[in-house]
Amino acid sequence: MRYIYGVAFLFMTLFFAACSVPEQTVYFKDNRKTDTTVLLTQIQPYKQSLIQSDDILAINISSISDFTEKTPVRIFNDGGIEYTLTPNIGGSGGGGGGGGANQKGYLVDSAGFIDYPVIGKLHVAGLTLRQIKTEIAQRLKSEYIKDPVVEVRILNYKVTVIGEVRYPGVVIAPNHRMNVMEALAAAGDITLTGRRDNVMVIREGDGKREFARIDLSSRNAFTNPYFVLKQNDIVYVEANAATRQSNNNKFIKFYLPVISSLLALLGATYAISQIAK
């Protein structure tokens, strides 16, 4: 009889633990039951990204006076190497990304330079896209093109998302801006087994590595200085305590149905024995 009570207690413990999972999946849940006011927070501005080594830049030159220029504009658009860029992980329809698209670009070397047609070596590391556009335009205007129009983009502006998400991997942001929620959405969201209250952002720069944590169960996450991501950031979602315990104790995952069936069988056996008496 005591054995039956013990098994029943174990079953009920596991049952109520499972019922607590949905509560852990809620974002920004602080004061949601009592607070009816509209919370206003200052939106963090997106800062212009600074170019780093291994960034790939797409540079396109045009001119309204192309036909009267001594140096044809197309000369400046014939450089670069074709790179295959993989689409966002998961994609809007899920199921993982498809094939990549080939785009021409200039790889920033370890010293921070790109090799641009006609002009030659350009130091771009540490500059914003706007500063690079201004630098190239001034170089072209002084010697080659009267009215240059310069467009510069980062082809591989990426964030890596790992841990308890549906599609771990690399997320590419074509508009050069991304926050933590956008990165997690592109990765298929945090799974039921991931912690929303302790998301880690790992950032490298200036020869150092920074580790920051964001609590996405609180609305204060929006004011966290690491909520707005930078290129090459890593977002890590930790598994919750129940998942870690489950990984260390495999029988809970694989043998819970067996325990349930055994409990039902023991209960039926005990009931029949009592009736027989």
Q: CATH no. for residue 230?
A: 3.10.560.10
Q: Are residues 235 and 259 in the same domain?
A: no
Q: What is the pLDDT of residue 197?
A: 93
Query: What's the average model confidence in pLDDT over 87-95?
Result: 50
Q: Is the pTM of this model over 0.85?
A: no
Which H, E and C letters describe the chain, residue by residue?
A: CHHHHHHHHHHHHHHHHHHCHHHHCCCCCCCCCCCCCCCCCCCCCCCCCCCCCCCEEEEEEEECCHHHCCCCHHHHHCCCEEEEECCCCCCCCCCCCCCCEEEEEEECCCCCEEEECCCEEEECCCCCHHHHHHHHHHHHHHHCCCCEEEEEEECCCEEEEEECECCCEEEECCCCCCEHHHHHHHCCCECCCEEEEEEEEEEEECCEEEEEEECCCCHHHHHCCCCECCCCCEEEEEECHHHHHHHHCHHHHHHHHHHHHHHHHHHHHHHHHHHHC
Q: What is the pLDDT of residue 100?
A: 62
207 part of a folded domain: yes
Q: Are residues 173 and 249 in the same domain?
A: no
262 part of a folded domain: yes
Domain of 92, in residue numbers = 56-154
Residue ending a domain, among 134, 154, 174, is 154
Q: Are residues 100 and 234 in the same domain?
A: no
Tens-digit pLDDT profile for residues 226-268: 999 999 999 999 998 766 555 555 556 666 666 777 777 776 6
